[in-house]
């Protein structure tokens, strides 16, 4: 009977981890597009946000600009907003699966923001900006693991 209890506990933890990763991904998409919309608003641009059925989104300028600084700020704002919000949440989070998801997606969004900032002005192909997201996920898990080893997370 004890073996069954241990297996159920492992299944529960696996489901808890999946729930965390799915939840923080979906919330991250919304926060990312909100960050772009806020940057557009601060830069005096009208934007529109579209969320897609494949759990992605896009924030577009209604009137295009060619100013490279504005485009780079607009590109950086989405991922930076998610990174800052997720790192703030990480300070208070007690659940280690949630901590892993916050770290992974927070750093993924930060790396993607740097790639998106460069792609917005044509300095980087969009495919490489997307690759930045995956690199950030690996970096985030490495940071989470280091924080756990150093016992900086509960």
119, 125 contact by CB (below 8 A): yes
Length of the chain counted residue by residue: 154
Tokens encoding 98: 């949630």
**Domain-by-domain residue ranges, the chain?**
2-149
Report which of 82, 32, 83 is spatially closest to residue 59, judged by C-alpha positions: 32
pLDDT in tens for each of the 154 residues of the chain? 566 688 888 899 899 999 999 999 999 999 999 999 999 999 888 888 999 888 888 888 776 777 888 889 999 999 999 999 999 999 999 999 999 999 999 999 999 999 999 998 889 998 999 999 999 999 999 999 999 999 888 7
Query: What tokens were used for 60?
Result: 């577009």
Enumerate helices (H) and strands (E) in the chain, giving the number of each: 4, 2
3-class SS letters over 34-69: HHHHHHHHHCCCCEEEEECCCCCEEEEECCCCCCHH
- Entry pTM: 0.90
Q: How far apart are CA 89 and CA 92, in angstroms?
A: 6
């Amino acid at each position: 009977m004890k073996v069954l209890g241990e297996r159920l506990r492992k299944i529960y933890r696996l489901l808890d981890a999946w729930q965390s990763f799915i939840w923080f991904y979906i919330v991250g998409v919304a926060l990312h597009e909100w960050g772009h919309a806020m940057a557009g608003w601060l830069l005096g641009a009208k934007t529109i946000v579209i969320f897609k059925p494949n759990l992605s989104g896009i924030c577009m300028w209604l009137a295009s600009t060619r100013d490279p600084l504005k485009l780079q700020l607009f590109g950086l704002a989405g991922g930076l907003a998610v990174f800052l919000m997720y790192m703030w949440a990480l300070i208070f989070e007690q659940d280690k699966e949630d901590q892993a998801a916050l770290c992974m997606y927070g750093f993924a969004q930060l790396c993607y923001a740097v790639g998106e900032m460069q792609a917005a002005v044509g300095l980087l192909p969009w495919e490489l900006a997307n690759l930045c997201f995956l690199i950030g996920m690996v970096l985030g898990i490495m940071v989470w693991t280091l924080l756990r080893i150093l016992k900086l997370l509960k």
